[in-house]
Structure 1
C-alpha cells in the first residue's frame, strides 16, 4: 500500500510541472485534474479538463500529461481522459493559485 501512496505522490508532483500556457499556473493548482486512479499493475487513469473547451493547446497539454506520467518509474501505462463535465471555473483553483493570479 505504501508504494501506491509514494507513486501517487510522484504522479501529483509530476502533474505540478505541467502548466496551462495561457495561465501561469500548474494544472493541479488550477484544479484541472479531476481524478487520479491507480489500477492493477500500476496502470494510471487521469481524468482532467481544460480551462476552455476550445483551448488551442488542448492536445499539447494532454500529450504532456501522458508523457510525463508514463515516464515515472513504476508507472506501466498512463491513460488520460479529457472531460468538460463539470465545466471548469475559477472556483476550482487552489487558494494559492487564486492569490497568485489576483482572484482573491
Structure 2
C-alpha cells in the first residue's frame, strides 16, 4: 500500500487563487489583496484552515463571507475539508493591503 503525499505548497497556491476570486462587497478589491487573509494551513489529510479577519467587527458580511470562502475552497478537488476562523488580533488596517490594492483604491 503506497502513501499518497500531497504537495501542500501547490495546493496552497491553488487556494490563494480561489481566495483572489472573492471580493469584499464594499471595496472593489479581492479579500487576499485586501490583507484579510492572515494564514492558510493545509494538513496531510488535505484539510484546510484559513485564518482571516474582517475590515471591522461590524462588517455586514461577517456571517456570509466565511461560508462563501469555505464553499469555494472545498470546491477544489484536492481539498478534503475547509474551515475559516475569524480573528481580530491583530486588527485589520490599510497597511495590510497589497501595493496593488492600495493603488486600486487610490491610496498610493
- TM-score normalized by the length of structure 2: 0.92
Write out per-residue CA displacement over residues 63-95 of structure 1, whole angstroms, 9 at most, x where no aligned residue: 110000011111000011001110000000000
**Correspondence 1:17-96 to 2 at 5 A:** 17-96=21-100
The structure where helix makes up a greater share of residues is 1
Q: 1:2 to 1:79 in 2, by over 3 A?
A: closer
**Displaced runs of 4 or more, over 6 A:** none
Deviates more, 1:52-61 or 1:92-101: 52-61
CA contact (8 A) 2:53 2:87 kept: yes
SS of the aligned residue for 1:102 comes to coil
Deviation at residue 40 of structure 1 after TM alignment: 2.1
Gaps of 5+ in 2: none
Q: RMSD between aligned alpha carbons?
A: 1.2
Q: Does 1:15 align with 2:19?
A: yes
Total equivalences in the alignment: 104
The structure whose Rg is larger is 2
Deviation at residue 57 of structure 1 after TM alignment: 1.2
CA contact (8 A) 2:6 2:44 kept: no
- TM-score normalized by the length of structure 1: 0.95
